[in-house]
Amino acid sequence: MSATEAAQALKAKGNAAFQEGKYEDAVGFFTEAIKCTPDDAVLYSNRSGAYASLNKLEEALNDAEMCVKLRPTWGKGYSRKGLAEFRMMKYKEAEATYHKGLQVDPTNEQLKEGLNQVQQQTDQFFSMQAMLAAAQAVNKHPKLAKYQQEDPEYTHRLTEILKQIQKNPQSLKLIMAQPDVRVKEGVIAAMGGDLEEEEELPQSRTAAGPTRGSAENASATKAAAGVKAAEQPAKELTKEEQEAEELKQKGNELYKQKKFEAALEAYDEAIEKNPNEILYLNNKAAVYMELGDYDKCLAECQKALDKRYECKADFSKVAKVYCRMAACKTRSGDYSGAIAMYEKALCEDNNRMTRNALNEVKKLKEKKEKEDYINPALAEQHREKGNEYFKQGDYPAAKKEYDEAIRRNPKDAKLYSNRAAALTKLCEYPSALRDADTSVQVDPAFVKGWSRKGNLHMLLKEYPKALQAFDKGLALEPTNQECIQGKMAVMNKVQQLQSSGEVDPEQMAHSLADPEIQAILKDPQMNIVLMNIQEKPELIHEYLRDPKIKDGINKLIAAGILRVA
């Protein structure tokens, strides 16, 4: 047998051991295969996957780097390297690796998903850092606290700016060149700099109008302006304007009573009295929208917009007209048009209500696009293609087909189960578990989903959750062999760990992070039970007869926290 043939035989044994969860054996077979053909990049990739499953991340990274070195145009090597770096919390390195991989293999789904996962983790990390820095700066500096009182969105905007700087340090120069002193002061404070709290810089009021040359003049001008504003009476309305306002109020009351024709007459009379108020046209548009006459609604809004410059309409009023048009387009199902109108409204008057409305319409648009894309027949075709790729061992291609099948029919539980199987073969256990969870959420009676979920919890060493999943499957189908065998495997594993006396750090970390385990450990009654068992281990048999305590004890045993002789 040639060296190449020997290596292939050993690789096949390694792959079989890997699929059975015997990762140490898999490492051994791949190592022997590498001795036969030390230039085979696939062998290093496979061994990297086995090391990663054993949580030996340094070794996994070394093999992945060798794989990339031997075969720099193969996306799988970059995927292995990126995963190892990600799990070692080397997020920048992982992101760079995934980008390099996508340069040589732009369509690789594993690389795309890996990059997305890294970016999400990085964004969360940056968001937490930026949010904390912004909040601390505002709490520490009275000047910034004052800005927050004036603008409730100030801390949020400062957080977004800090995130931008974290992602791209070069943007700091552009940000500090902005005329808004509130931004600059916020950034300086968040980065640990000092602020002069007493002196008010003249630039801080540039948005409100011209300023004097010194801080004293700026403060004096501001004070004088405040007195002048307080003393200046509100604009007196002419007789026609007063009558127009009364007619508008009349129209509003009729509108609330759903007397729409009478409301239109009142608004028309108001427009005759004061044709320079564009909000009367906007109110007419609201009536037409309630009547379902969307064309007339939009026509009235357009009349208002055509008069904005002639009437010197306030920006906020123009924004209201755009918002009415957006609401009208939303009701008619034209979500793209509604988004465009809300964006125009924000250009006129940037306020929270409009931003929220814009976000809601974007969600509606996305939901409609997904619903329009649904086609169960096409989903079944993609599922069958995915199954063929799966049988051939081409798991990335299988996953891609299952992705499309799910987009075409997101309410089919078996599609998520199939994709979970492909992801499991690709060692993407957390993603596979999410799909298994989704499959039983979509169809709680789908036994295959419960067995899949149980097996994935076992791979992740979450033994209490694995037992729960298998039990739920058996409650639906007591003779299901996958659930029976899976439950036996978990119980044997727990017994093996109990007998060995060894502590598995990964299992312990998963267990202590489990909210259910945390709740059991915080329970006062359970604490007394555990103390009694610690003093007299033989009491455990007595406690196991108590149905109220039995379940908690069994979960702690399965989690590896409570050990019994």
Taking residue 292's Cβ as centre, other Cβ atoms within 10 Å add up to: 10
Cα distances (Å, whole numbers) of residue 470 to 272, 534, 549 = 75, 30, 21
Task: Check whether 43 has a pLDDT greater than 90.
Answer: yes
Is 90 part of any domain?
Answer: yes
Averaged pLDDT, 197-219: 36
Task: Check whether 211 has a pLDDT greater than 60.
Answer: no
Q: Which pLDDT belongs to residue 526?
A: 78
Q: Which pLDDT belongs to residue 405?
A: 96
Q: Which pLDDT belongs to residue 196?
A: 53
Residue type, 310: E
d(CA 302, CA 263): 20
Is 438 part of any domain?
Answer: no
Among 114-128, 136-150, 403-417, 539-553, which is the least confidently predicted range? 114-128
Is 84 part of any domain?
Answer: yes
Closest among 278, 253, 280 to 268, alpha carbons compared? 280
Cα distances (Å, whole numbers) of residue 284 to 249, 271, 280, 307, 333 = 13, 10, 6, 15, 21
Write the CB contacts of 126 (distance below 8 Å, at least 6 apart in sequence).
Answer: 163, 166, 167
Is 292 part of any domain?
Answer: yes
Is 500 part of any domain?
Answer: no
Is 252 part of any domain?
Answer: no
Residue pLDDT, tens place only, 250-299: 999 999 999 999 999 999 999 999 999 999 999 999 999 999 999 999 99
Percentage with pLDDT > 70 across the chain: 87
Helix runs in 193-307, H state only: 215-231, 239-256, 260-273, 278-290, 294-306
Task: Check whether 2 has a pLDDT greater than 70.
Answer: yes
Is 475 part of any domain?
Answer: no
Q: Which pLDDT belongs to residue 35?
A: 93
Q: What is the mean pLDDT of the chain?
A: 84
Highest mean pLDDT among 138-147, 183-192, 279-288, 516-525: 279-288
Is 220 part of any domain?
Answer: no
Cα distances (Å, whole numbers) of residue 17 to 62, 175, 512 = 21, 55, 30
Burial 369-398, CB ≥16 within 10 A → b, else e? eeeeeeeeeebeebbebbbebbeeebbbbb
For residue 58, what are the domain limits?
3-107
Q: Which of 67, 91, 107 is the C-terminal boundary of a domain?
A: 107
Task: Check whether 197 has a pLDDT greater than 80.
Answer: no
Encoded tokens for 306 = 């055509």
Q: Which of 65, 92, 107 is the C-terminal boundary of a domain?
A: 107
Count structural domains, the chain.
Answer: 2
Write the CB contacts of 61 (distance below 8 Å, at least 6 apart in sequence).
Answer: 48, 81, 84, 85, 88
Percentage with pLDDT > 90 across the chain: 54
Task: Check whether 215 has a pLDDT greater than 70.
Answer: no
Among 386-390, 459-463, 496-500, which is the least confidently predicted range? 496-500
Residue pLDDT, tens place only, 429-488: 999 999 999 999 999 999 999 999 999 999 988 888 999 999 999 999 999 999 999 999
Residue 163: which pLDDT band, with cuts at 50, 70 and 90? confident
| DSSP 8-state symbol, 460 | T
CA angle 424, 427, 432 (to 5 degrees): 40
Task: Check whether 199 has a pLDDT greater than 60.
Answer: no
Q: What's 36's domain CATH number?
A: 1.25.40.10
Residue 198: which pLDDT band, with cuts at 50, 70 and 90? very low
d(CA 505, CA 492): 19
Go through the chain and tell me how many residues it has: 565
Encoded tokens for 60 = 């996994």
Closest among 390, 407, 406, 408 to 398, alpha carbons compared? 390
What is the DSSP code string of 305-320? HHTTTTTT--HHHHHH
Q: Which of 72, 107, 142 is the C-terminal boundary of a domain?
A: 107
Q: Which pLDDT belongs to residue 252?
A: 93
Residue 179: which pLDDT band, with cuts at 50, 70 and 90? low
Give the three-state DSSP class for 132.
Answer: helix
pTM over 0.85: no
Closest among 557, 565, 564 to 463, alpha carbons compared? 557
Taking residue 276's Cβ as centre, other Cβ atoms within 10 Å add up to: 13
Among 52-61, 101-110, 111-120, 465-474, which is the least confidently predicted range? 111-120
Asked whether the beta carbons of 339 and 358 are under 8 A apart, the reply is: yes
